[in-house]
């Protein structure tokens, strides 16, 4: 049995604001630091604290693959997640048999259903999350018609109404004040996202002059890829006679991949022509 003084000491150490900082390497803001005094005095409580701090990167409706065990290599959709137990139920994976007693609701017998799997044995399959398109219109400060043309062109390219972006802060060197309209953007998800990605890879990029592939070094460290296009005329939706000025276009492909290597492999399988 723990004495009252020991319990008070554990509560004081487990308070992350009062606990001394851990001198080891930091893993980012997602994990809070724990005092090494807690790990030496009460290892069980230390392990429980670490497990409670871990973020559940697997959520409901995510597509996952089993890493080890009897069901190794099987894929399925997450039906339910139990955060406290660090376990999840995956559709069609880890089928177990349960014996049910007869009741007023129906007859008993042997029933097969999905059992729970520990989250550490599951890995999320990366997929496209969204695609963000952005056009910066610097001349909009003197010519408001340029911004209207950019919004119309981006709407035609994306198939979705673009919105106007405003400056977040004032910059005297560029004569920009906070709240000024300086560009437009649009975010594509689900079906429209895949349609635009298909057009970008199979129709737009082959029309670029002397195209030898896109750079494989444009990832941001979290599996997301950014691409810059010099003009909007390469899109078949834009007619040359209706264009007053050429404008660049930024395309950001956001994925659920945790690393650049997995993001690179995902986009390669989807058809992105990376330079070799």
pLDDT per residue, tens digit, the chain (276 aa), is 444 444 344 344 444 344 444 444 444 444 444 455 545 555 554 444 444 444 557 888 888 888 888 888 888 889 988 888 888 989 888 888 877 777 776 677 777 888 888 888 888 888 899 999 998 887 777 777 888 888 888 888 888 898 888 888 888 777 778 877 788 889 999 899 999 999 999 888 888 888 888 888 889 888 899 998 888 888 888 888 777 788 888 999 999 888 889 899 999 998 889 888
The reported pTM is 0.67
In the chain, the number of structural domains is 2
pLDDT value of residue 94: 85
Question: Does 75 share its domain with 114?
Answer: yes
In a domain, 43, yes or no: no
Neighbouring CB atoms inside 10 A of 97's CB total: 9
Q: Which of 241, 231, 228 is nearest to 207 (CA)?
A: 231
Question: Does 139 share its domain with 210?
Answer: yes
Question: Does 139 share its domain with 73?
Answer: no
Helix axes 43-53, 4-14, angle to 10 degrees: 30
CB 80 within 8 A of CB 88: yes
| Residue 143: domain span | 128-270
Look at residues 86, 108, 124 and tell me which one is the last residue of a structural domain.
Answer: 124
Task: Write phi, then psi, for 75 (nearest 5 degrees).
Answer: -120, 155
How is the beta sheet containing 116-118 ordered, strand by strand? 116-118, 87-90, 75-82, 63-66, 122-124
CB 132 within 8 A of CB 185: yes
- Long-range CB contact pairs, 71-79, < 8 A, 24+: 71/117, 75/125, 78/122, 79/114
């Amino acid at each position: 049995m723990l004495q009252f003084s020991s319990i008070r000491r554990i509560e004081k150490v487990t308070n992350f604001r009062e606990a001394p900082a851990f001198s080891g390497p930091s893993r980012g803001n997602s994990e809070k630091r724990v005092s090494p005094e807690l790990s030496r005095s009460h290892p069980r409580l230390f392990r429980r604290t670490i497990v409670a701090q871990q973020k559940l990167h697997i959520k409901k409706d995510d597509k996952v693959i089993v890493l080890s065990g009897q069901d190794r290599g099987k894929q399925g959709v997450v039906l339910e997640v139990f955060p406290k137990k660090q376990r999840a139920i995956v559709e069609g994976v880890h089928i177990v048999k349960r014996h049910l007693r007869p009741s007023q609701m129906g007859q008993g017998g042997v029933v097969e259903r999905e059992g729970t799997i520990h989250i550490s044995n599951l890995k999320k399959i990366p997929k496209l999350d969204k695609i963000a398109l952005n056009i910066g219109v610097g001349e909009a400060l003197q010519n408001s018609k340029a911004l209207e043309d950019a919004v119309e062109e981006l709407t035609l390219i994306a198939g979705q109404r673009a919105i106007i972006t405003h400056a977040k802060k004032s910059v005297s060197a560029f004569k920009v004040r906070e709240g000024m309209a300086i560009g437009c953007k649009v975010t594509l998800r689900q079906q429209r996202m895949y349609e635009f990605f298909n057009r970008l890879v199979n129709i737009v990029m082959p029309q670029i002059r002397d195209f030898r592939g896109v750079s494989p070094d444009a990832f941001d460290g979290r599996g997301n890829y950014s691409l810059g296009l010099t003009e909007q005329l390469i899109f078949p939706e834009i007619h040359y006679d209706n264009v007053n000025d050429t404008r660049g276009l930024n395309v950001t492909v956001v994925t659920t991949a945790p690393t650049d290597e997995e993001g690179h492999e995902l986009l390669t399988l989807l058809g992105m022509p990376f330079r070799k």
